[in-house]
Chain A
Amino acid sequence: MRKYVPKDNVQKKSYYTDRFHVVPRVPREKVEDEHFVSVVEALAGDVKESYIEIGQLVLHINPEDNFKVLKILKEECGYTQCSEQSAVDYLAKDNEFELFWQLLNITEAKRVRVVCRLANASAIESVEPLFKSANFAEREIFDMFGIKVNNHPFLKRILMPDDWEGNPLLKTYPLQGDEFASWYEVDKIFGKEYRDIIGPENRDPAKIDVEDTKRFSRVGYEVEFGADYSTEEKDIEYSETLLVNYNKKSSKQLDERR
């Protein structure tokens, strides 16, 4: 393992960060491709910004226009497949979500990404009448981000249970779950009053409880299964053949490689 160097010395701060580091980002190119130019022209007034990223056209639109734009893309430009649709949480920075739709034109073998910024706590129009795949994708957006989708035929959680609280893909949601999540199965199966009996989740995979002689044996002592650990401990009887004591200091550890 690499040696741990504490980085809290204010005097040396400039040594810890690379001043010349530039976060790499995909270059944005101008729309020159013939097909993509025609796509941008077909959408004329609705596109706020358009550029090419790794051979894909990216279109920024207003969130109110999403149905209109996708309809034109599907019916006039041949983007008949919506392969992916989701959101990104930018609440901390801008109090907005970024929603995107990834469309595929099979005859031209081209892809378009439609992107919009949706203010917090506002709803988006469903594109389910255009793309059937949007049905589940929008339910997932609703489940994971809590974004409401207008005119969706069946807006209900899809991945998490129906009685779940919180939206797990928000950046404010803790990875190991909040209070509700950590007791979910206990509350549901046994009821809240069993929380004390079952106890909190053990998130430490290396945890050893010396008092628990049913689940753990003890290093250096023999304790009977289920015995009270404090009274019944006795030293292990080692032998030279069967049970060898490897704790004995018979080996030598080198400080350095020779």
Chain B
Amino acid sequence: MAQHQVNYASTAGLPIALTSVDKLVNWGRSNSLWPLTYGLACCAIEMMASGASRYDFDRMGTIFRASPRQADVMILAGTLSKKHSEFARRLYDQMTEPKWVISMGSCANTGGMFNTYATVQGVDRIIPVDIYLPGCAPRPETLQYALMMLQKKIRRESADMKKNTKQDLTTQTGKKRTRLI
């Protein structure tokens, strides 16, 4: 007959994993990325599709939150108009650290086809971006891939967010670089 006895003094048959704090923290962070439900234009439809059952973001630990205070990823999905830019920045500021930004679609990356007076020509003018996701609109698979790349990026970073540099919103000629979070 089998012996059902737990020996608490030994390892109980469980493997012991040795790791660094950075890796442990980043493992936690990267596997529960909660994005903000923040759709701006047509790209948002693809973002919603990625969250829904067919593509199923939940299996990656990615659950959309309706409040910036509970979210740690901002997926800027769509055209950011100048009128709205102020609010986008405010939502970004309301998110608690650590936070990351995915710029989804040509419109968010560069203004896209809206080369007009009313569209922000790339959200990196106002918010530091971690992942640029090209496409118009990017397919849900692409957004999943972007999220996986973000997870990869987070795993590479330090657990201490102060040591990680954000993208600087400085002029691209690189003459003068002042950091602006």
Contact = CB atoms under 8 A, between A and B. Distances in A.
Interface in B138-172: 167, 169-172
A201 B125 contact: yes
Contacts of B126: 185-186, 189-190
A251 interface: no
Interface stretch (A44-52, A81-89, A116-124, A209-217): A209-217
Contacts of A160: 83, 118
A215 B172 contact: yes
Interface residues of B, number: 26
B116 A177 contact: yes
B19 interface: no
Nearest to A174: B117
Interface stretch (B6-14, B30-38, B173-181): B173-181
A202 interface: yes
Given A175-B116, A198-B171, A189 B178 contact: no
A210 to B, nearest CB: 10
B36 to A, nearest CB: 18
A239 interface: no
A197 interface: yes
A185 B126 CA distance: 8
B82 A202 contact: no
A176 B173 contact: no
A111 B167 CA distance: 56
Nearest to B109: A205
B125 A176 contact: no
B174 to A, nearest CB: 5
A189 B122 contact: no
Interface string A184-208: 1110111000101111011101000
B169 A198 contact: yes
A186 B125 CA distance: 8
B110 interface: yes
Interface string A154-177: 000001110010001000011111
A130 B170 CA distance: 53
B50 interface: no
Contacts of B167: 214
Given A161-B83, A188-B85, A188-B86, A168 B117 contact: yes
Given A160-B83, A198-B170, A205-B110, 15 more contacts: A160-B118, A168-B117, A181-B118, A184-B85, A185-B82, A185-B125, A186-B126, A188-B86, A197-B170, A198-B171, A202-B110, A202-B122, A203-B121, A209-B174, A211-B173
29 contacts: A164-B83, A174-B117, A175-B116, A175-B117, A178-B117, A181-B82, A185-B85, A185-B86, A185-B126, A186-B125, A188-B86, A189-B85, A189-B86, A189-B89, A197-B178, A197-B180, A199-B173, A201-B121, A201-B125, A202-B121, A202-B122, A203-B111, A203-B115, A205-B115, A209-B174, A211-B173, A212-B172, A212-B174, A215-B172
